[in-house]
Amino acid sequence: MITSFRHDNEKKIRRRKILGVFLVLALFILVFRTPVEEQLAGVVHFIARPLFSAANSVTDSLASTRAYFSSKRSLRDENTRLQDALDMVTAESYSREVLRSENEALKSVLGRHATRSLLLARVLASPGRAPYDTLIIDTGESLGVAVGTPVLVDGDFAVGEITQVFGESAVVTLYSSSGNELPVTVGSSSTPTIAYGVGGGNFRIVLPRGIPVTVGDMIEIPTLAPLYAGVVDAVNKQGSGSLQEIYFKWPMNVHTLRFVYLPYSEGVRTESVPIK
């Protein structure tokens, strides 16, 4: 029995020694930087690094997504701008090369020759600042501007005519003003008809369904010198009715016009198209 008691005491003493060693070791690790601490820190970093990498990947992905959509918006805006410029160049090239040559040939046959000069005018106020569907320009009576003079932009497109004249300025009423009627010819067959202004540089024509008209066709104003009212933007042939609706517009934004041209001829006066 005495022997058993002695063995129990020895076990308790051994446990205390082991516990003491662990306490000393723990205290040593806490007080002093040891390789053990570095190893523990390494384990922590090893575990945490994939988490940080994943978080950074998510952040980078979100940033890339935002950049992608921002870039996509910029590209879309730039594409729209370039498309507008391309439409202008295409229309101008078409009008200047093809239809102009046909018109000159016709005038040669008729024995009528007209040299058209252009008077440059600065746009002082566009429809956003001037009354609806009008422009205010910086040329007037002092330069011989008169009521009824057509107003043109690049590509021989007629956008309106002078309706009021002052000493150093004039008011241009756009052909697209709501309710205005403009005599035009449409399609390869040059079918004569009336275009109705619907505002904002847009027009509407109603024709028999059988007359061929396609998107991109030029709408011409019947004058001696070649003038154009716009480019076909849409053709509506709903149902099985006998009519079709043609919508056309100018190949430029009238709200951003900076300059226009006032034509006058030497020998033959350029015909005006009255605003109705």
Residue of higher predicted confidence among 220 and 30: 220
- Which has the minimum average pLDDT: 165-169, 228-232, 237-241? 237-241
Looking up residue 220, the CATH number of its domain turns out to be 2.40.10.340
Asked whether residue 174 is domain-assigned, the answer is yes
CA distance 124 to 197: 23
3-state SS class at 77 = helix
The total number of structural domains that make up the chain: 1
Neighbouring residues of 258: CB distance < 8 A, sequence distance ≥ 6: 122, 123
Look at residue 204 and tell me whether its pLDDT is greater than 50.
Answer: yes
Asked whether residue 138 is domain-assigned, the answer is yes
Distances (CA, A) of 142 to 113, 160, 166, 168, 173: 28, 21, 8, 6, 20
Q: What backbone torsions phi and psi does residue 224 show, to the nearest 5 degrees? A: -60, -50
| Among candidate residues 228, 250, 247, 227, the one with its CA nearest the CA of residue 237 | 247
pTM comes to: 0.58
3-state SS class at 237 = coil
Asked whether residue 142 is domain-assigned, the answer is yes
Print the domain residue range for 204. Answer: 117-266
Residue of higher predicted confidence among 13 and 250: 250
Would you state the pLDDT for residue 203? 97
Per-residue pLDDT averaged across 218-232, rounded?
A: 88
Percent of the chain whose pLDDT exceeds 70 = 55
Distances (CA, A) of 210 to 191, 230, 240, 242: 12, 21, 12, 8
3-state SS class at 80 = helix
Q: How many residues does the chain have?
A: 276
Asked whether residue 3 is domain-assigned, the answer is no
Asked whether residue 4 is domain-assigned, the answer is no
Percent of the chain whose pLDDT exceeds 90 = 35
Residue of higher predicted confidence among 250 and 103: 250
Asked whether residue 248 is domain-assigned, the answer is yes
Neighbouring residues of 166: CB distance < 8 A, sequence distance ≥ 6: 140, 141
Asked whether residue 86 is domain-assigned, the answer is no
What confidence category does residue 226 fall into, taking pLDDT thresholds of 50, 70 and 90?
confident
Residue 72 burial by CB count (10 A; 0-12/13-18/19+): exposed, middle or buried? exposed
Residue of higher predicted confidence among 131 and 170: 170
What confidence category does residue 56 fall into, taking pLDDT thresholds of 50, 70 and 90?
very low
Would you state the pLDDT for residue 235? 94
Look at residue 200 and tell me whether its pLDDT is greater than 60.
Answer: yes
Would you state the pLDDT for residue 131? 78
Asked whether residue 130 is domain-assigned, the answer is yes
Would you state the pLDDT for residue 128? 76
* Residue 160 structure tokens: 């309106």
Residue of higher predicted confidence among 253 and 93: 253
Residue of higher predicted confidence among 237 and 88: 237
Look at residue 72 and tell me whether its pLDDT is greater than 50.
Answer: yes
| Sequence-ordered alpha helix ranges (H) in the chain | 2-31, 35-94, 100-110
